[in-house]
Chain A
Amino acid sequence: MDALLESLARTVPEAIVCLGLLLVVVLDSAGGAARRAIGPISVLSLLLALVALSRETGAPVASWSGMIASDPLSALLRALILLGTLLVLLSFDLGRSRELKGLGLGEFHALLLAVAFACLLLASANDLVMVYLALEMVSIPSYVLVAYLKRDPRSNEAALKYLLFGAASSGTMLYGLSLVYGIAGTTSIAGVSAAMAGSLPAGSSFGLWLAALLVFAGFGFKVAAVPFHFWCPDAYEGAPTPVAAFLSVVPKTAGFAVMMRFCFEALSLQRGGALALVEIVDWPQLLMWISVATMTLGNVAALTQTNMKRLLAYSSIAHAGYVMMGVVAMSEDGGRGVLVYLFTYVLMNLGAFGVVAAIHASEGSFDLRDYAGLHRRSPLLALAMATFLLSLMGLPPFVGFFGKLYVFGAIIARGPEFYWYAGVGAVNAAVAAFYYFRVMRAMVIDPETGTAPALSLGGREALALCALAALNVLPTLAWGRVDEWTRAAMVLLPR
């Protein structure tokens, strides 16, 4: 009994989100006036979870018989997941959305909370069993969310492609996990790490290489890395815009969380506060090639897109490539880079999707050509979009700059043999500027076809977009604080 209470005390935020989720399902089944409480209850449970998380003590412990690790790193990542979900619920006016018209919102909230709950578990998974279970718990409600527009064949088709890719890649990852289990003899990540430090049976090198390759297929699918990215543009285009925004930030954060834990804890040795490579498998090499392919293909494919959702999908693929630089760096600085990048990415990408959703709510179009003359029709939207795009580009006064600064810095600190990798990243950032500027040119310079009327913007949307735009600039003023948080989260403890 004590063990159960002890474990529950370590996972209060998860428990709150889980109860909120169950409550939403009950309210939705009850029907009638009870349904009006669903939105507030969802927001409230996320807020309470954030509060509970902030009261957690930093000491690292394992709970639920070793399944869950509570440490400063998982605390920061869980805060990011809760923040991302909260921002999605607050900044999209679901009632005004053209796509969701006529569909109940009860399931929408329930599924969103279910994904958030699973992401929380994934971010603190401390056992291969938990890694697999949490990953699938993220995936399965996501498939349903993508298929949410059940009368729209595009939504169904997107969900089918997402599901087929997801099921195949999670099966592949599972094979990798079985190899890890076979070689290390245990499913706990700490146990795997201990086994790596000891002497491994002969022939483990090939097995571990294969295992790393197969496991990265699963993580790569979750963060949309090449060559496991095919689902991403289709899923974002077919899914309702709030869902696309949510999928582009929250599960991606959780995917990087588990990738970081697996790479840094299971496949590395921690020696005196620094990470050392397990000699027999050079996973950073593998991940580096995935990262190079991801950022290059994402950026090049984004150049020719005219559908805003597809453009943002390819841009999010490219960003996953940059974030991976931080993991490849395999150092405290690299991990800090991943955290900073994910934090800023939540702010800028949700903002960009918010503008896309607001324009669709009044125009009914995702086409870039319909963005012409936006600066006249809605100066506020154009200004907000410009902020998000400049932030995505990584220009200095905006928070997006810091993400790039940290990951590039961490890679360069690894030594001259990684300079070319940083160079590829820099060239990619320049290519990315092209298509972000193309959107801005459409908003400001492109001639309008006909005289389109001014855009009507809901009060809630306007407020949310202003707040998000402010969040893309303001943290710069108090950057020391953010730096301090990431520094506290990424402490490598000598064992």
Chain B
Amino acid sequence: MSGSLVQHALLLSVALFTLGALGVFMRRNVITIFMCIELMLNAVNLAFVAFSRSLGTFDGQVLVFFVMTVAAAEAAVGLAIVIALHRHRDTLDIDSFNLLKW
């Protein structure tokens, strides 16, 4: 079997997911946070494809299609909200959005 290849893919996906999650917490620019979330989702895609290959079923690869389209829809809504916010404030720094106390 392709054991070691799948293991490598999973390790890479864990690394990507961790990087993405860290970025979501540590970055301050909204667009960068979006990109980190995309990184998390792509890590998930990699994990699904790797599992799909090792299991020999296609369910995981089908899910990847859905994840990609949903991510696009989410990004579209997210960017629309960012545009609306940018009209009120000339910044994209997450710390400056403080009308509502955390």
Contacts and interface: CB of A to CB of B under 8 A. Distances in A.
A182 interface: yes
Contacts of B30: 160, 164
A128 B44 CA distance: 14
Contact of B70 (A133, A147, A157): A133
Interface of B: 17, 20-21, 24, 30, 33-34, 37, 40-41, 43-44, 47-48, 51, 54-55, 57, 59-60, 62-63, 66-67, 70, 73-74, 77-78, 80-82, 84-85, 88-89, 94, 97, 99-100, 102
Interface residues of A, number: 39
Contacts of B88: 153, 156
A233 B66 CA distance: 30
Interface in A143-167: 143-144, 147, 150, 153-154, 156-161, 163-164, 167
Interface in A171-208: 171-172, 174-175, 178-179, 181-182, 185-187
Nearest to B62: A129
A228 B70 CA distance: 21
A168 interface: yes
Interface of A: 128-129, 132-133, 136, 139-140, 143-144, 147, 150, 153-154, 156-161, 163-164, 167-168, 171-172, 174-175, 178-179, 181-182, 185-187, 230, 233-234, 237-238
A150 B85 CA distance: 9
Given A175-B44, A178-B44, 12 more contacts: A136-B74, A157-B85, A157-B99, A157-B100, A160-B97, A172-B40, A178-B60, A181-B51, A186-B59, A187-B59, A187-B60, A234-B102
A154 B100 contact: yes
A68 to B, nearest CB: 15
Contact of B33 (A143, A147, A164): A164
A174 B37 CA distance: 12
Contacts of A167: 34, 37, 74, 78
Contact of B74 (A140, A153, A179, A185): A140
Given A164-B33, A175-B44, A187-B59, A143 B77 contact: yes
